[in-house]
Each structure stands twice: as C-alpha cells, then as structure tokens.
Chains A and B, each alone.
Chain A
C-alpha cells in the first residue's frame, strides 16, 4: 500500500519550532497512531486516551524548542504521553482498587492465544486490571522503565512497584486462561 510521502521528522520539527500550525498538524497526524497506542494502554477508555494524547501534543508544541534533536522524537513523545496519561489518572492511582479476580478456571493455554491478540483484546485485558497494576505493567514491561523510575513517577515505594507488577502479571495470566477457555468453549 502506498502512503503519502512523509515529511522528514527534522523538517517537521524545525517548522514546528517556528510555530507553523500547519506543520504542527502534520506532526500530530504523523505521530497520532503511535501516541494513541501508548495512550490507550494507560487510559481507561478511548476518550480518555485521546484527551491524554492531545494534552501531550499541546505540551510538545509548547515545548518543542526544548527538544533535543539528537534523541529520537518518538522516545520524547512516548515519555510525554505516558506522563500525561499518568497525571490524568493520578488520583485514581492513589485510590486504586485491589480487587482480585475470581479464580479462573485453570485451563491450559496455548501460544496461539497470545499471538492472536489484537489491540482491542490487549486493551480489554489491561482494562480488567486495577489501574495501578496496568500502569506498572505497561511502564515496566512495555515501556522499559525500572522500578526506581516508576516509584518516583507514581509516588510509591519501589517495593510496592515490584509487588504490583507481580500481581499484574498473575492476573494477566489468569485472564489469558479465561480467554483461552472461552475460545475453546466457543469452538466446541
């Protein structure tokens, strides 16, 4: 599939530094999908994710002059989106619910189950986790933060971060088992 020629990242950023609204729109459009991919993982729903992404882009536009071109723009954007999404849910994270899932039926899961997961499936799984668990799972496993960074960003103890991550993984496993079980039942 042919896609329209993308403007070089450097050129886009250079023009955005001059305050051109047109180039800001182009930058937004070019990196919207990437940003939404992050925003969705850290948000409770799509609307929440979109607001987080937009707030992140506004921060980007306002602070574009502080951007260091030596570093990848995507990394900077990802950091801003994650921080923005976390800020939006900070209250929720403080009063996170530690509701455990009911014990799922222990069913042998298969690799094909994981491989067939699409974005919607993954988001459904993540949304079934308590907010703090999903956030720490995303930060540690997907976005590469360590526990010290997570503890600083979320204002929790490092040990808590480790605990929450462990619980998040356990719950995801259980949810995957349920998913696999349901798939098999539907096939039968």
Chain B
C-alpha cells in the first residue's frame, strides 16, 4: 500500500470516527460549564434587569395614579377657586363701598352715611328704628365699582345721642370677635362695622370747614338692621347657593375609582380549563360624556394543566423539557426511550396593568358600558412542574421524573393581552355595584415558557361615587 493510500485511509477513518463521535458525559460537562456560565456579571445584569422591570411596572402605576390625582386636584382646585371668588366678591364689594362711601360723604359733606353693598344687587334699605325713628335712609342699588361713589353712593344717616353711642360701644365690645370698627374722628369720623359677614358701613363725617354743630356719631348696629339686612343676605345666600349648584353641575368628577374581585376560567390549547380568582383596582378617567379611559392594576392567578398530552400538541417548552430530562439521566435505559405521557402544570401569578377604552351607553341613567383594550404586566411568580412518565426498555416498567422550575419577575409583557368586557352597574347608595363579564385573549405567548393562554369570567366591581356627566 502506498503512503498516499495510507494517508487517505487514515483521513477517512478519522473523519468517520469523529463525525459520529458520541459522548455520554454531557451532564458532567454541563455542570462544569455552569461553574463559569452565566458569569457573575451576568447575574448582576439579571438583578439589574429584574429591578428595571419592577421599576417599570412601578413607574406605570405611579403615572396612572399621578394622572388620577392630578385630575382630582384640578377638580378640587376649581371648586376652591369658585368658593374663593365668591368670598372675594363680597369682600371687594364691601371694601369698595367703604371707599365710595367715604369719598362720597366727603364730597357731599354729609353728616354721616352707611353704605351697604351686596354683590351686583340692589341694596335694601334698613331702618334703624332703635336708634331713631327719623333717620333718613337712602339707598342706591348699584355696584360701587361700576358706578362712581360720588354720584350713586348709598348713604344713610342716623342721628343718635352720645348715650346711644356708648350703648353701641358696649354692644360692639361684646361682639369683638365679629365686629370690625374703624373710627377716624380726626378728619372724617368714620366708623365701619362688619358683623357676621354682613357688610355694614357706618360713616360719620365732619368736614374740616363745617360749623361746630352738635356732633352726633352715626351708628348702625347689626341687630338694629337685622330684619332688612337679614332679608338682603338671605337673598344673597340663596342666589349664591343657586350659583354653586350650577357650578357643581358643570364641574364633574373626572376620575372614579373601583375595586373588584374576579372569578374566571383560564383556557389554552391542550390544557384543561382551570377556575381561578383575582382582584384589583381601577381608575376610570372621563374623556368625553360617553368615553372613559380605564386603567389600574390587578393580581390574578392563572393555572394551566397540560395533562396526558403527546409531544405533538404540547407546547415547545414541554418538548424542550422532555429532552432536558432525558439528558439529565445518565442511564442508558432512559436515554433509549421516549416519554409515554407527560404532564405540565403551570401556575402563574400575574401583575396586570390594563389600559382600556370604555364606552358608556347612557351616562345619565346608569353605568352600562362596553370596554376594550390591552394589558401589560409581569409575573410575580411562575411555577412550572413538568412530570414525565415513560416506559422502560422492556415496555413494562413505568418511570417518572419531575422538573419543577420557579421564576419571579422574569418576564414583562407589553400589550400582549386583548381585553374585552361588558358591564352593568346597579346603584348602591352613592356608589355602584357593577357586574362585568370579561374575556381576555392572548396575542402572544407569555411567561418563561411562552404559554399562550387567555381567560374569561366575571368581575364583581364596586365603583366609588361614579362620575356624572354634564347636564
């Protein structure tokens, strides 16, 4: 045999041997590899990613909560502003009236004057009978702001003697908390009294060049004008109440919160149907009269059981696990057989964040709606337990192996679940009880094993003070 022939024969033989080389020490090899891989920095990265995912979910929830609170704050802010404006109207009017009265009285050199102003209302005339029956009252019904004080100022005077003044001082002292007295006798001798939020201005003026007549302080006490003034303020209060009601109608509550409990059935191709429960909270943000954006968070359990399936209908993950199991055994007996049956039990606890659009059919009458949207989220816990049963080489003995795996916050799915629901609300006091049948359809495999599963069931929802629409 020539050298070339020998070389060729040797080459062929080496290729033949090593192309079909088999080695049954793969398990030991894998264990050695696992000492190096994944590296520590990979683990660190894994932790980083875990935190990143958790932070993502938390940020999503915070954002939803923030939007809700912001909208609520706006509602409260509007109401506060409305109330504040109401108060300011009265105060401004009063203070302006004071100025008007002083100016007017100074120019007209009136003895004294009392200006009673109310918001854009005609001012009723009050008669201080207890002070003097001859006190002339004049009234002008214009807003002091819009009408100059020197032309339309409301002035009424009351001449009283000193004893009456002293008596009034005593009464005022007793009402110190509710009275505000301004007395400026040096120039205008003006006294202003505001009692019980009822603006009352008492002005006593003595012009610098006026003759020295008997100075008479001009006083009007609240109890002395009570009847007329009370009527005035009652009317004003009524008017404001009407205004507030109208404002309240226009300012709707934009966000409504609900909590719910869910009972549902998980379904998946090849899996037995499993009953499960869950719960969560939602926030409905009103977009238009009929349209709401509904979001929130829920926690639900999902169990799937692929029982007695063959590898043809089992998910890929199960096939993978089967091969994994065979190689995990160093027994040549196990290596030489295929599984007779298999069972995969998956238990997934998911943290779900739905974002749905809700159409309310008749917002004034009730809370009947249809809703559709998508869910994102992660799995708080994933447990897979794969059990294989397979016959031995002689076909008689049955052996089983189990392969449980646990994962936590290992996967995040974004808009992988389609949500469809229909709800009917029943009033419970100010709140509502809503029965909401729902259906969740998977758009992609989820979890570590990429299981394609959905669910259908009923939500029992308690809706706190549902939003009302504009009237």
Contact = CB atoms under 8 A, between A and B. Distances in A.
A86 interface: no
Nearest to B3: A173
A114 B320 contact: no
Given A4-B323, A33-B23, A172 B10 contact: yes
Interface stretch (B27-35, B280-288, B343-351): B27-35
Interface string B323-350: 1101100000001111100000000000
Contacts of A83: none
A25 B32 contact: no
A36 B337 CA distance: 24
A17 interface: no
Contacts of A25: 30, 324, 327
Contacts of A53: 29
Contact of A115 (B13, B18, B324, B337): B13
A32 B23 contact: yes
Q: Specify which of A2, A23, A28, A109 lies most central, judged by the most chain B CB atoms within 10 Å of its CB.
A: A28
B10 A114 contact: yes
A103 interface: no
Interface of B is mostly: helix
Interface string B17-40: 111011101110110110011100
A117 B17 contact: yes
Q: Specify which of B9, B10, B13 lies most central, judged by the most chain A CB atoms within 10 Å of its CB.
A: B10
A27 to B, nearest CB: 10
B37 A58 contact: yes
B338 A2 contact: yes
* A-B residue pairs, 6 tightest by C-beta: A37-B21, A37-B18, A32-B26, A4-B326, A29-B327, A54-B33
B7 A169 contact: yes
Contacts of A20: 448
Q: Chain A: interface residue count, which band?
A: 35 or more
A21 B43 CA distance: 13
A11 B311 CA distance: 15
Contacts of A117: 10, 13-14, 17
B11 interface: yes
Contact of B323 (A1, A29, A58, A118): A29
Given A2-B336, A4-B323, A57-B33, 16 more contacts: A3-B335, A4-B339, A22-B324, A26-B323, A28-B33, A29-B323, A32-B30, A33-B26, A40-B21, A55-B36, A115-B9, A117-B10, A117-B14, A119-B18, A122-B18, A172-B10
A105 interface: no
B213 interface: no
7 contacts: A2-B338, A4-B335, A15-B316, A25-B324, A28-B29, A50-B29, A117-B10
Contacts of A57: 33, 37
B319 interface: yes
Contacts of B255: none
B6 interface: yes
B1 A29 contact: no
B45 to A, nearest CB: 10
B221 to A, nearest CB: 87
A147 interface: no
B15 interface: yes
Contacts of B326: 4
Contacts of B327: 4, 25-26, 29
A176 B30 CA distance: 35
Contact of B18 (A4, A11, A38): A38
A60 B107 CA distance: 101
A64 to B, nearest CB: 12
B322 interface: yes
A54 B36 contact: yes
A187 interface: no
Contact of A7 (B7, B29, B323): B323
Contact of A22 (B25, B26, B321): B321
B9 A29 contact: no
Contact of B32 (A1, A50, A122, A142): A50
Interface in A30-83: 30, 32-34, 36-38, 40-41, 50-51, 53-55, 57-58, 61
A57 B31 CA distance: 13
A5 interface: yes
A185 interface: no
A185 B207 CA distance: 151
A16 to B, nearest CB: 11
A47 B116 CA distance: 106
Contacts of B15: 142
Interface string B33-55: 10011100000000000000000
A95 interface: no
Nearest to A28: B30
Contacts of B322: 4-5
Interface in B198-220: none
Contacts of A122: 13-14, 17-18
A20 B324 CA distance: 13
A115 B26 CA distance: 27
Contacts of A1: 336
Nearest to B17: A119
A36 B29 CA distance: 10
B323 A5 contact: yes
Contact of A119 (B21, B38, B316, B338): B21
